[in-house]
Structure 1
């Protein structure tokens, strides 16, 4: 199967290893992966800040950067949710209405694509330890993803997957929310990390690098015995170079 890879600007700039691990996992699943180096942003920062005209310009480029004939896979539920949902506000009944609808139906977050489209949930990954999965707001509420990451993690050798309290509560990042309301944001991160520590977790795993960046910053500041990992990095762990 041929797929187009969408790497959000956040991962491109801060977590390039997650992008490469996404490719490794997709190729191990039997996909031929194409990457358009001209791709940039989906427009989510501008859209969430209320700059819809600017978001539409960025979104129009996004639509042109990807093929309408192939699946589009991204290691970000947040950006996938932006395209699947917010593009309705930007492009419904516009000149690119049909193009937008096709792209929206083609784009999938990594775990949802692996489990529901490819029907594969085992990749020979190995990671010793105990982990919790953090349901990001975008994954759970925009992409309706809940069981898929857990199914994949349940098949990682050596990993004990635990459920923490309030797993579906926001971590506190929320883009500019973390800047505008830093006190509330930090308190929400504290609650999330403490819930993970309470069940003995050594890892917090999620589909969104932005959530993980926020939580890892709190962990580092408090020097806590736990770390964050992106799902793609876990699935590529224990085989080959990661």
Structure 2
């Protein structure tokens, strides 16, 4: 029996990853922050489709106490962690408050480090494990008006590369999936004209799909990727190569 934790499970990408892991027979811990009704609906959907156990765990990972609160709800040694967070803040750096800077760094970087730290000992004991971080193209190339988010995701990429070296002797793989523009509700803040112009700027001519991110995670949790670690897997339609 294998166990997996997906953070941000109620988002568009998180749902697709949850369905993929459920289809593989994983027993799931699904994390959410405030979308309890969505989380309950997802749990019911998965338990009705697959013969698995699903536990809902709630924590605000934008707060320093969030990671430990989450870890305290995990009762089984995990085989897979998918750290996935979808929140992004747009605006000039000079318009960011100190609180929003701290919360962005906490959510996208510091909590990922702390959650990983809490889960690694049992993986080391088993001599196996997969840690997948959902990063962003902006963590690779940076973006104006998303400076703090870019910094957090860039730090996450560096963390993955460093941690992969530490845990490789224990047969644990640590990797990043780095999406470009994916069709999720995060795009709702843009007008149709803005979205069309953005799609035209992507060589593939379209936005990515949440299931395409899940396909990448599917490969990285499989034994086909056992010799791949510390890798940033970009999914961006050749937008940035």
Instruction: Place the TM-score, normalised by the shorter chain, in its bin.
Output: 0.3 to 0.5
TM-score of the superposition, structure 1-length normalised? 0.38
TM-score of the superposition, structure 2-length normalised? 0.39
